[in-house]
Chains A and B, each alone.
Chain A
């Protein structure tokens, strides 16, 4: 069974731009969660989607948004990028949700200059 894939793997953007990251979960998994990982703040939960609905959201500003499609693929969008948005963005899929076993993708390394 193929694992979680994320595209692109690396991205360089300029302050003020917007970016869209993509995540394809493991086949059959309906829950997709997104996380931001930085050296200073560690791993922080952004939001989770289940069957195309956002079920929960972490404490991030509205510039961070997401969506999930009917095939469970998910996208995360960050608008008006700031230098502090530079991070590794991880996507995880699960049969049930992040409160049970999750399978993580390799991440997208975003650098904002």
Chain B
């Protein structure tokens, strides 16, 4: 079964609005990463947040991590049509296990 489960599975918003997507995972992690995938640029790394960090920013992206709830959220502010893509969280397991698992993804559509 997938370690990461993104929520919602699909999201449709207007350009300029904010988009929030969530990721839940099951086991202890060392870090969590978010990726974007679209047909034009393939799979691209967006941001990495370590297990001892609670929040991280990169441009219009804000990621939070709550290890007590085993969840993370990705916020895209002032969305653009070019943000239309699928977004995945990926986790690297802790406790000596070296398992790298992608979530199921959120399909974001930004309407112009």
A9 to chain B: closest CB distance in Å?
11
| Chain B residues in the interface with A (C-beta under 8 A) | 2, 30-31, 33, 42-45, 48, 88, 90, 92, 98-105
A: contact size bracket: 20 to 34
B85 to chain A: closest CB distance in Å?
13
Q: Lowest 8 CB-CB distances: which A-B pairs, in order?
A: A99-B92, A43-B102, A104-B43, A98-B100, A56-B98, A45-B100, A101-B45, A42-B104
- SS class of chain B's interface: helix, strand, loop or mixed? strand
Q: Which of A59-113 contact B (CB under 8 A)?
A: 90, 92, 98-107
B105 to chain A: closest CB distance in Å?
6
Measured CA separation A43–B10 after assembly (Å) = 17
Measured CA separation A92–B102 after assembly (Å) = 13
B86 to chain A: closest CB distance in Å?
10
